[in-house]
Structure 1
């Protein structure tokens, strides 16, 4: 019985390691980097300035480049959504307009009722 348990435990370890190695989410999307990329956009996103700064637009361009796959775009979207939601005076219309204001094609339309899972 002890040998069966040890074999079962060893199989579980192998399965966990296999799943971790195959799971790109294990490497994870760098949400903190995404947040840093948008930090210079806060003045624009809260309505304190009329247009995004050059640093903000560079951050938007970095975000676009950092998420080439659908899964990464969804992870990036969720990260940004989580980061922006608690900010007082956050203007959703400005977030929707930000890629266009910076001359960056978001790669998908951003309607007012946008959800991250709708990214294709």
Structure 2
């Protein structure tokens, strides 16, 4: 164990140096954001509840406000498409209506068939 301590320290130092020189991105949206913002909407999207919760609509608004660039909107679209397709019991017609029911205008349809590369 004592022999591994210098190796661990060296690895930590190299990792810290790599982070310090890594290019910083300015993306405001990640798949983690999409999932955490929209998680409160899952019960509605599965038809388990008939009304949207305040946290769901808040998440939709937060995500829409964060996705201000084409790259962010494409990231959000791709993540939505993948997430919706991976959760069992999702009713796609309910999902597509969530932004409108939350009074949020999204510049692309929420659908597993949308071509996210064409989102602007």
Is TM-score (shorter-chain normalized) higher than 0.5?
A: yes
| Change over 3 Å in CA distance of 1:103–1:75 after alignment to 2 | same
| Offset of residue 111 of structure 1 | 7.0
* Whole-Å separation in 1 of the counterparts to 2:117 and 2:85: 17
Is 2:78 aligned against 1:78?
A: yes
Residue 115 of structure 2 is aligned to residue 100 of structure 1? no
Shift of 1:119: 1.0
In structure 1, runs of 5+ residues without a counterpart are: 1-19
User: In the alignment, which residue of structure 2 is the partner of 1:118?
Assistant: 118
Q: Secondary structure at the match of 2:86?
A: coil
* Match in the other structure for 1:64: 64
Q: Normalized against structure 1, the TM-score is what?
A: 0.71
Q: CA deviation at 1:53?
A: 0.7
What is the Cα deviation at residue 110 of structure 1? 1.3
In structure 2, what is the Cα distance between the partners aligned to 1:118 and 1:91? Answer: 24
Give the Cα separation in 2 of the matches to 1:105 and 1:71. 18
Tell me how many residue pairs correspond in the alignment.
Answer: 98
Q: 1:118 to 1:51 in 2, by over 3 A?
A: farther
* TM-score (norm. length: structure 2): 0.71
CA distance, structure 2, for counterparts of residue 45 and residue 39 of structure 1: 10
Q: How many angstroms does 1:50 deviate by?
A: 1.4
Q: CA deviation at 1:89?
A: 0.7
Distance 1:78 1:109, change over 3 A: closer
